[in-house]
């Protein structure tokens, strides 16, 4: 084969299809060491469907229920709200994955995962911090949470803050229900709320 | 007003394979890994400061091109280990063909940097000239000429 076109075709075909598998891990390690891994994420399976779990160097920032196609939205939101330096690094999520598995298997009642609260602001932050203190198997009303957040009359605003909870399951907004005994809404749909409350024994 | 940059991972997913192929073609398989890592780390470092999200591929390959040039320079400064000192002095060329490598890439590596990059981006990535011009920081005409000149030099090697 002596013509350039043939040599080019052969040369292009000879290039590797993919970088070596280790290249991705190496890149993530280097990014973390250089302080460039602003947001790491991984997919985690659960009985409530696939989750995306994301963390900054300070701690967890996102736990998202994902439907087909909604994963990109979650990542785009993180890029806009936290940092565009968003990388998939499954190796950094062994501990969250283990704790979530244990929780869903009924073998864990609280999470020992650091949370990065710095991306939350104002009343939402207060409400979600108060919610994080509700123990496994306990229930609170929206007005309990509003009071705990320092604004007893802001019941509706508390409901909105819970609806915007970026870390469902780990920040247990499912433990907040309506005063009359109705379940109220839930970020991932009320079926998931029912599932979690049954898991915790507060709903029969 | 700041731009909405896509999550960096989407850039990595879309261009990881092409950047690696670029590195293999430009610096050889042995050093491709370093070129690949340096490119992505530099891109990740600079990413949040980007003021526009159009033409991310051209931006990325401009970084890759610079890293490949760095690798060439580093190699030409580095002493090359030899088993025995040859009786007549030979200067190692910028890049001979490596084992199992189509020799064309060794020829491409002997082209001036602009032509080298231009030939790869056109022939492997099928990059439009407008994008290639952005990458090379040149006019579209100059980009076209770089491809043309590069291919002309290579053709001399192949039509003997």
Question: Average pLDDT for consecutive 10-residue bins of chain A (204 residues)?
Answer: 80 91 94 97 96 97 92 96 97 97 97 96 96 96 96 95 96 93 87 96 88
Residue at a domain's end among A104, A128, A163: A104
Residue A109: Cβ-neighbour burial (10 angstroms; 0-12, 13-18, 19+): exposed
> Which of A71, A72, A79 would best serve as a mutation to test chain B binding (most B beta carbons within 10 A)?
A79
Token look-up 């991306």 returns A119
Q: Classify residue A204: in a domain, yes or no.
A: no
Residue of A nearest to B34 (CA): A23
Catalytic, A191? Answer: no
Q: Classify residue A115: in a domain, yes or no.
A: no
Residue at a domain's end among A104, A130, A149: A104
Residue B102 is nearest to which of A3, A14, A39, comparing CB atoms?
Answer: A14
pLDDT mean across residues, chain B = 87
Q: Which domains does chain B have, with CATH numbers?
A: 8-83+98-158 (1.20.140.160)
Chain A residue numbers with beta carbons less than 8 Å from the beta carbon of B12 are: 27, 87
pLDDT at res. B93: 44
Q: Classify residue A152: in a domain, yes or no.
A: yes
Q: Classify residue A143: in a domain, yes or no.
A: yes
Q: Classify residue A109: in a domain, yes or no.
A: no
pLDDT at res. A181: 74
pLDDT at res. B84: 55
pLDDT at res. A187: 87
The two tokens of residue A145 are 């949470």
Q: What tens digit of pLDDT does each residue of A9-23 get?
A: 889 999 999 999 899
Q: Classify residue A178: in a domain, yes or no.
A: yes
Segment B120-127 shows an average pLDDT of 94
Region class of A189: left (phi > 0), else alpha (psi between -120 and 50), else beta: left
Same domain, A79 and A134: no
Same domain, A88 and A145: no
Residue at a domain's end among A75, A104, A133: A104
pLDDT at res. B145: 97
| Active-site pick, A60, A78, A89, A173 | A173
| Neighbour tally for A18: CB within 10 Å | 11
Q: How many angstroms separate the CA of residue A42 from the nearest CA in chain B?
A: 11
Segment B7-11 shows an average pLDDT of 97
Q: Classify residue A11: in a domain, yes or no.
A: no
More confident residue, A5 or B131: B131
pLDDT at res. B94: 44
Q: Which helix (H) or strand (E) holds A53?
A: strand A51-56
From A125-134, B40-49, B88-97, the region with the lowest mean pLDDT: B88-97
| Neighbour tally for B99: CB within 10 Å | 6
Interface of B with A in 27-66 (CB under 8 A): 29, 33, 36-37, 40-41, 44-45, 47-48
Structure confidence at residue B91 as a pLDDT band (50, 70, 90) = very low
Structure confidence at residue B99 as a pLDDT band (50, 70, 90) = low
Closest-CA residue to B19 (of B102, A7, A14, B27): B27
Q: What tens digit of pLDDT does each residue of B48-80 get?
A: 999 988 899 999 999 999 999 988 888 777 666
Q: What is the ipTM of this complex?
A: 0.92
Same domain, A144 and A191: yes
pLDDT at res. B157: 81
CATH number at residue A30: 3.30.160.70
CATH number at residue A145: 1.10.10.10
Tell me if residue A52 falls in helix, strand or coil: strand
Residue B4 is nearest to which of A31, A80, A83, comparing CB atoms?
Answer: A80
Q: What tens digit of pLDDT does each residue of A48-85 get?
A: 999 999 999 999 999 999 988 899 999 999 999 999 99
pLDDT at res. B90: 41
> Which of B1, B4, B7, B11 would best serve as a mutation to test chain A binding (most A beta carbons within 10 A)?
B7
Q: Classify residue A149: in a domain, yes or no.
A: yes
Closest-CA residue to B59 (of B72, B67, B50): B50
Task: Give the count of domains, chain A.
Answer: 2
Same domain, A34 and A68: yes
Domain carrying residue A124: 120-199
Same domain, A191 and A124: yes
How, if at all, do strands A51-56 and A59-65 pair?
A: antiparallel
């Amino acid at each position: 084969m002596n013509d350039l076109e043939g040599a080019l075709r052969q040369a292009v075909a000879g290039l590797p299809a993919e970088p070596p598998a280790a290249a991705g891990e190496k890149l993530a390690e280097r990014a973390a060491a250089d302080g460039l891994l602003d947001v790491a994420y991984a997919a985690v399976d659960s009985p409530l469907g696939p989750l995306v779990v994301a963390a900054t160097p300070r701690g967890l920032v996102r736990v998202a229920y994902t439907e087909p196609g909604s994963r990109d939205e979650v990542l785009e939101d993180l890029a806009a709200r936290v940092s565009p330096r968003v990388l998939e690094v499954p190796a950094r999520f062994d501990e969250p994955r283990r704790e979530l598995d244990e929780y869903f298997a009924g073998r864990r009642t609280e999470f020992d995962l650091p949370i990065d609260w710095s991306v939350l602001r104002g009343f939402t932050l207060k409400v979600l911090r108060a919610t994080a203190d509700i123990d496994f198997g306990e229930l609170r009303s929206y007005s309990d949470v509003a009071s705990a957040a320092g604004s007893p009359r802001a019941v509706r605003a508390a409901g909105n803050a819970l609806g915007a909870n970026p870390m469902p399951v780990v920040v247990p907004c499912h433990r907040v229900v309506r005063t009359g005994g109705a379940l109220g809404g839930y970020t991932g749909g009320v079926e998931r709320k029912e599932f979690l409350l049954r898991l915790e024994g507060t709903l029969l | 007003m700041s731009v909405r940059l896509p999550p960096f991972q989407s850039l990595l997913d879309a261009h990881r394979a092409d950047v690696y192929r670029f590195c293999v073609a430009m610096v050889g398989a042995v050093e491709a890994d370093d070129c690949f890592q340096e490119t992505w780390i530099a891109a990740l470092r600079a990413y949040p400061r980007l003021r526009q999200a159009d033409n991310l591929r051209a931006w990325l390959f401009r970084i890759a091109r610079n890293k490949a040039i760095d690798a060439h320079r580093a190699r030409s400064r580095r002493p090359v280990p030899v088993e025995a000192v040859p009786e007549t002095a030979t200067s190692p060329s910028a890049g001979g063909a490596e084992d199992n490598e189509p020799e064309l890439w060794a020829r491409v590596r002997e082209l001036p940097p602009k032509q080298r990059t231009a030939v790869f981006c056109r022939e492997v990535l099928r990059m439009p000239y407008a994008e290639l011009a952005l990458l090379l920081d040149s006019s579209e005409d100059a980009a076209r000429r770089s491809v043309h000149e590069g291919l002309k030099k290579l053709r001399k090697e192949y039509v003997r």
